[in-house]
């Protein structure tokens, strides 16, 4: 449990331009005052992240009336606080954004908006659009509200490494590069938010994540597109993080196998090469492999797999695995985001 005093201290640290790691429903974030370019520079330094990769700005539910969830009021407030440029959004696009906000905020959906005057270009990596999300986590919401500023936050890991789902993961990656780490236990969803560009029509899903493509399509009432960056393997040209072909990677080499038969064969091949092989398995396949293998069980349904994926990769790393074998995941529902992270971690 995080005490009110601890939260106050963390909020003050944010106002002072320092870095605070905090839990969200997806993964732990590395936060800084989004209106303070110098503070945000520290995020890039601490993570070793290139300045070409834009940051998500996190906002709390209505500063004035936290209980108000009216999407109109939320958009108005984002406009008035200078996070977004509301005037620059055409009316028909506002209707789509309101629907998405109504259905998914607070929650794991990040939306693009025309950048507001208070958001430094450093955050958007020079782009005219800013990514905004309202996390569905009590601690994140309280922290942002107490700080009284929007909070820029990438996942709190070293650049390119597996995202953190516990405070210990943050300590392991960033140590004393971060002033305060708010520890509220493991995160619920376990993989990052979906990133959607609904300024375009049809909207473009830039990153698979906590809100499924199917759900987004139901809300907007039509099929969304994906970009070359969304689907790795098709990628060309410049990329942003989370859209990089290689990302979310453990230290061990990750190999994705199409079926248990392939996995067993790979286990023999890699073992013969002298590798210490770790297995990332669903509970359904747990019994197929003897207990003398290093195993991490991620559960069976997509929800538990998402929740346990990053902890599993880190645990197998810590157990000294030099190769990790995992089974392919079906790309439906949350499975699309899990398969995406596996593929990038294996790239
Ligand atoms: O769940 C999450 O989104 C977590 C938690 C902490 O909120 N944050 C997170 O941030 O995953 P990060 O920096 O690791 O990933 C941000 C993603 C990247 O894919 C980035 O390219 C995209 O959001 N993004 C950020 N700003 C953007 C922009 N202006 N235009 C397009 N994509 C943007
Ligand atoms: Mg990240």
Residue 9 Cβ < 6 Å to ligand 1: no
Residue 97 Cβ < 6 Å to ligand 1: no
Distance 149 CA to ligand 2 centre (A): 22
What's residue 236's pLDDT? 44
Both 289 and 215 in one domain: the answer is: no
DSSP 254: E
Both 190 and 284 in one domain: the answer is: no
- Is 296 inside a domain boundary? yes
Residue 243 Cβ < 6 Å to ligand 1: yes
pTM assigned to the model: 0.95
Mean pLDDT value of segment 90-106: 97
Say whether 67 sits in a helix, a strand or coil.
coil
Both 222 and 327 in one domain: the answer is: no
Please state the domain count of the chain.
Answer: 2
Distance 66 CA to ligand 2 centre (A): 28
Atom 7 of ligand 1, nearest CA residue? 29
Both 126 and 273 in one domain: the answer is: no
- Is 199 inside a domain boundary? yes
pLDDT band at 96 (very low <50, low <70, confident <90, very high): very high
Both 15 and 160 in one domain: the answer is: yes
Mean pLDDT value of segment 202-216: 97
CATH number of the domain enclosing 92: 3.90.870.10
Residue 130 Cβ < 6 Å to ligand 1: yes
Q: Which of 256, 267, 268, 263 is nearest to 285 (CA)?
A: 263
Report the percent of the chain where pLDDT is more than 70.
95
CATH number of the domain enclosing 280: 3.40.50.11030
Both 39 and 152 in one domain: the answer is: yes
Both 203 and 258 in one domain: the answer is: no
pLDDT in tens, 58-78: 999 876 666 667 899 999 999
Both 39 and 124 in one domain: the answer is: yes
Residue 144 Cβ < 6 Å to ligand 1: no
pLDDT in tens, 110-138: 999 999 999 999 999 999 999 999 999 99
Number of residues that this document lists for the chain: 347
Q: Which of 312, 337, 330 is nearest to 108 (CA)?
A: 337
E strands along the chain, which residues?
Answer: 20-22, 29-33, 56-58, 109-114, 129-133, 151-152, 180-181, 194-197, 204-207, 225-226, 253-257, 277-281, 294-297, 323-327
CA gap 125, 54 in Å, rounded:
5
Both 182 and 298 in one domain: the answer is: no
Both 63 and 186 in one domain: the answer is: yes
- Is 321 inside a domain boundary? yes
**Nearest listed ligand to the Cα of residue 29:** 1
Mean pLDDT value of segment 140-165: 97
- Is 257 inside a domain boundary? yes
- The whole domain housing 331 covers 253-346
- Is 190 inside a domain boundary? yes
pLDDT at 247 > cutoff 70: yes
pLDDT at 257 > cutoff 90: yes
């Amino acid at each position: 449990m995080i005490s009110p005093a601890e939260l106050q201290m963390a909020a003050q640290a944010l106002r002072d331009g320092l870095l605070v790691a905090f839990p969200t429903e997806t993964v732990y974030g590395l936060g800084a005052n989004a209106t303070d370019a110098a503070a945000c520079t520290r995020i890039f330094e601490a993570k070793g992240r290139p300045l070409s990769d834009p940051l998500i700005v996190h906002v709390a539910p209505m500063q004035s009336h936290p209980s108000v969830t009216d999407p109109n009021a939320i958009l108005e407030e984002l406009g008035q606080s200078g996070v977004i440029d509301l005037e620059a959004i055409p009316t028909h696009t506002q209707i789509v954004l309101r629907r998405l906000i109504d259905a998914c905020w607070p929650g794991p959906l990040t939306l693009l908006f025309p950048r507001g005057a208070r958001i430094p270009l450093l955050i958007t990596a020079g782009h005219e659009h800013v990514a905004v999300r309202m996390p569905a986590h009590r601690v994140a919401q309280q922290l942002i509200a107490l700080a009284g500023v929007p909070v820029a936050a990438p996942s709190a890991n070293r650049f390119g490494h597996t995202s953190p789902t516990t405070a210990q993961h943050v300590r392991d990656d960033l140590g004393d590069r971060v002033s305060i780490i708010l520890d509220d236990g493991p995160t619920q969803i376990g993989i990052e938010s979906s990133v959607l560009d609904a300024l375009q029509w049809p909207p473009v899903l830039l990153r698979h994540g906590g809100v499924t493509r199917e759900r987004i399509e139901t809300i907007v009432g039509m099929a969304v597109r994906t970009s070359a960056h969304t689907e790795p393997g098709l990628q060309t040209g410049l990329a942003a993080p989370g859209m990089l072909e290689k990302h979310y990677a453990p230290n061990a080499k990750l190999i994705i196998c199409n079926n248990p038969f392939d996995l067993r064969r790979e286990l023999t091949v890699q073992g013969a090469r002298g590798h210490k092989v770790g297995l990332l398995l669903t509970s359904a396949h747990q019994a197929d492999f003897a207990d003398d293998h290093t195993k991490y069980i991620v559960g069976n349904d997509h929800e538990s797999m998402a929740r346990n994926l990053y902890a599993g990769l880190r645990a197998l790393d810590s157990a000294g695995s030099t190769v990790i074998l995992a089974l392919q995941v079906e790309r439906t529902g949350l499975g699309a985001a899990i398969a995406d992270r596996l593929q990038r971690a294996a790239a």
